[in-house]
Amino acid sequence: MKMVIIAGTPGSGKTSVLMHAIKNLQDLGLRAAVVKVDCLWTEDDARIKRLGVPVRVGLARDMCPDHYSIYNTEEMISWASSEGADVLLNETAGLCLRCAPYPDRALAVCVIDVTSGPNTPLKIGPLLTTADVVVATKGDLVSQAEREVFRERVVEVNPGCRIVEANGLTGKGSRELADIIRDSRDIEGEMLLRHNPPLAVCTLCTGELRTAKKHHRGVLRHLDGFTEYVGE
Amino acid sequence: MIITIKGGFDKDGLPECVRSVDVSSGEVIGIVGPTGSGKSSLISDLEQFAQGDTPSRRYVLIDGFPPDPEIRHDPRRKPVAQLSQNMHFLADMSVREFISMHARSRGRDPGLLSKVLEMANTLTGEPVHADDNLTELSGGQSRALMVADIAVISDSPIVLIDEIENAGIRKKEALRLLSGEGKIVLVVTHDPLLALMTERRIVMRNGGMAKVINTTDEERRFCDSLFRVDTWLLSLRELIRRGEVLSATEAVI
């Protein structure tokens, strides 16, 4: 079985790219199963179900959505196997830019919106730099020159990636993405993340509401860049 | 160079009436049809050298063969320059930074910036400066810069133009700059003058190529009077823009 992680910035069109890819995978004779991870709420599963593929939703709620995705990788894989899937597609919630929720053996797809401007590839870090495939969406809303400048910036930070220009409305690029998925390797054995998660568990994650510095613990960085460990 | 468009399917999934169109270097072809008839999709198929993998399932061939897959992706090798309908830049950077970076992405000399600016400023009344921010340019300035960028930086054997008439720039001059010498030019247009300036025009209907019309001699003769009307309209527009009041003498073509 193959596993595809579809991550990307909010509103970049991950779900549309995913849905067009599913149709093209079906044309190629591959059976897909989808796990949609979100933070608090989603109804995308109903849209995806209409394509006739098994869908599961995972809501991370109080947990970091990327950590939730990674923590449940084994469960997702065994569920997709039991559904007889050839390809497990996992769409992440895509909020935090510090993590990259990509296990090494999965195909890592980063969906990014060209209208967010050519500086965005420099801002989003490992989510983009450790991806195998970068799907650039909404290119029809900008000039060819802007698409090419955007592409140049993506290549600067991730020279080895495949760039697919896609349109979530027309399905442009989805056949190319489906071909890449078909040709990707199978997952097997223990998988490692491609990039280390943030420096420590954050005090905010454990429920701290007070903003004053003295209440925060862990590896902390000041505005001037000074980094220290506060705790036992 | 000859590019061939192999017909695919229209919006109802029926085969397009036109099964194949060849366009050779030096030809200017129009694409006409109502809004939503598939003109921009045809341009998009050409821009990405569709290989049966777009919604229309058309194929685009170069000299009779599918192009090397690499040229579909690498702007340094892509033989296509496209002027789309977009009227504004969204990139938050200076004209200098943007044009230099675009030159790099196309493997051209970033020093071409001054040539781009010089050409852009022949198309628009409001000069564009290297240190202007892209997002602050007016619609006319943006279009002028896009046209000049295509003519100088993306200088390619195939030029695709998705409407030039509503750009607030000198459209005939822009078409001349974009067409260059010996290029394949496809231009989407609603403008009768531009449509009749082409040698042939593809008529789009319901997402498919319905027919190809050769511009007749009769139509060409028409072109001269259309040109006079167009020049007249432009001069009236200029007077109104300048805040003048029109008099009866202006009512003569």
Give the 3-state DSSP-derived string for B203-234, with helices as H, strands as E and coil as C: EEECCEEEEEEECCHHHHHHHHHHHHHHHHHH
Q: Do B101 and A172 touch (CB under 8 A)?
A: no
The model's pLDDT over A192-221, given as tens digits with 9 standing for 90+, comes to 999 887 765 678 877 888 998 899 888 888
Q: Are A76 and A88 in contact (CB under 8 A)?
A: yes
- Taking residue A125's Cβ as centre, other Cβ atoms within 10 Å add up to 16
Burial classification of residue B50, based on how many CB atoms lie within 10 Å of its CB (0-12 exposed, 13-18 middle, 19 or more buried): buried
What pLDDT sits at residue B78? 87
Rounded to the nearest angstrom, the minimum Cα separation between B65 and chain A is 19
- Which residues 181-240 in chain B show a CB within 8 A of chain A? none
B44: chain A residues, CB-CB within 8 Å: 140, 170, 172
The yes/no answer on whether domain B1-79+156-215 falls in CATH 3.30.70.270 is no
Angle, CA B13 vertex, CA B10 and CA B18 arms, to 5°:
40
Using a CB–CB cutoff of 8 Å, tell me whether A157 touches chain B: no
Which residues, 6 or more positions from A110, have their beta carbon under 8 angstroms from its beta carbon? Answer: A7, A8, A127, A128, A131, A133, A134, A135
Tokens (6 digits) for B107: 């493997």
Q: Which fold has domain A2-182?
A: Rossmann fold (3.40.50)
Rounded to the nearest angstrom, the minimum Cα separation between A8 and chain B is 19
DSSP state, B137? S
Q: Are B169 and B142 in contact (CB under 8 A)?
A: no
What pLDDT sits at residue B169? 66
Q: Do A117 and B153 touch (CB under 8 A)?
A: no
- Residue whose token pair is 């989510």: A127
| Gap between the Cα atoms of A192 and A105, Å rounded | 8
Q: Which of B40, B53, B91 sits opposite A149 (nearest CB)?
A: B91
Q: How many CA atoms lie within 13 A of B145 on its CB side?
A: 33
Using a CB–CB cutoff of 8 Å, tell me whether A218 touches chain B: no
Using a CB–CB cutoff of 8 Å, tell me whether B102 touches chain A: yes
| Gap between the Cα atoms of A33 and A76, Å rounded | 9
Q: Do A163 and B73 touch (CB under 8 A)?
A: yes
Q: How far is CA B127 from the centre of its chain?
A: 22
B53: chain A residues, CB-CB within 8 Å: 175-176
Q: Are A90 and A35 in contact (CB under 8 A)?
A: yes
- Taking residue B164's Cβ as centre, other Cβ atoms within 10 Å add up to 22
Rounded to the nearest angstrom, the minimum Cα separation between B213 and chain A is 28
Average pLDDT for runs of 10 along chain B of length 253? 96 96 94 94 92 90 90 84 87 94 93 95 91 93 92 92 72 81 91 89 97 94 85 86 85 68
Q: Do A145 and B149 touch (CB under 8 A)?
A: yes
- Position A53 pLDDT exceeds 90: yes
- Residue whose token pair is 């050769």: B214
DSSP state, B26? T
Domain boundaries, chain A: 2-182, 199-232
Q: Are A84 and A7 in contact (CB under 8 A)?
A: no
Q: Are A97 and A123 in contact (CB under 8 A)?
A: yes
Instruction: Collapse the DSSP code of A34 into the 3-class scheme (helix H, G, I; strand E, B; otherwise coil) and give the result.
Output: strand
Confidence of residue A222 (pLDDT cuts 50, 70, 90): confident
Q: Do B150 and A144 touch (CB under 8 A)?
A: yes
Confidence of residue A55 (pLDDT cuts 50, 70, 90): very high
Domain boundaries, chain B: 1-79+156-215, 93-151, 227-253
- Taking residue B59's Cβ as centre, other Cβ atoms within 10 Å add up to 19
Which residues, 6 or more positions from A4, have their beta carbon under 8 angstroms from its beta carbon? Answer: A87, A88, A89, A90, A106, A107, A109, A181, A184
Rounded to the nearest angstrom, the minimum Cα separation between B54 and chain A is 6
| Partners of residue B9 on adjacent β-strands | B15
| Gap between the Cα atoms of A61 and A93, Å rounded | 11
Rounded to the nearest angstrom, the minimum Cα separation between B47 and chain A is 10
| Gap between the Cα atoms of B116 and B106, Å rounded | 14
Q: Which of A144, A148, A150 sits opposite B84 (nearest CB)?
A: A144
A170: chain B residues, CB-CB within 8 Å: 41, 44, 54-55
- Position A225 pLDDT exceeds 80: yes
Give the strand order in the sheet containing A2-8: A55-59, A32-38, A87-91, A2-8, A107-113, A133-137, A162-165
Using a CB–CB cutoff of 8 Å, tell me whether B74 touches chain A: no
Using a CB–CB cutoff of 8 Å, tell me whether A54 touches chain B: no
A150: chain B residues, CB-CB within 8 Å: 91
Q: Are B106 and B75 in contact (CB under 8 A)?
A: yes
Integer Rg of chain A from CA: 18
Rounded to the nearest angstrom, the minimum Cα separation between A149 and chain B is 5
Using a CB–CB cutoff of 8 Å, tell me whether B251 touches chain A: no
Give me chain A's average pLDDT, please.
91
First CA to last CA distance, chain B: 41
What pLDDT sits at residue B141? 92
| Gap between the Cα atoms of A216 and A200, Å rounded | 12
B146: chain A residues, CB-CB within 8 Å: 143, 145
The torsion angle over the Cα atoms of residues B75, B76, B81 and B85, rounded to 10 degrees, is 30
What pLDDT sits at residue B137? 94
What pLDDT sits at residue B10? 96
| Gap between the Cα atoms of A11 and A27, Å rounded | 27
What pLDDT sits at residue A108? 97
Rounded to the nearest angstrom, the minimum Cα separation between B20 and chain A is 22
B149: chain A residues, CB-CB within 8 Å: 145
Q: Which of B40, B98, B89, B82 is nearest to B185 (CA)?
A: B82
The model's pLDDT over A92-141, given as tens digits with 9 standing for 90+, comes to 987 777 778 899 999 999 999 999 999 999 988 899 999 999 999 999 89
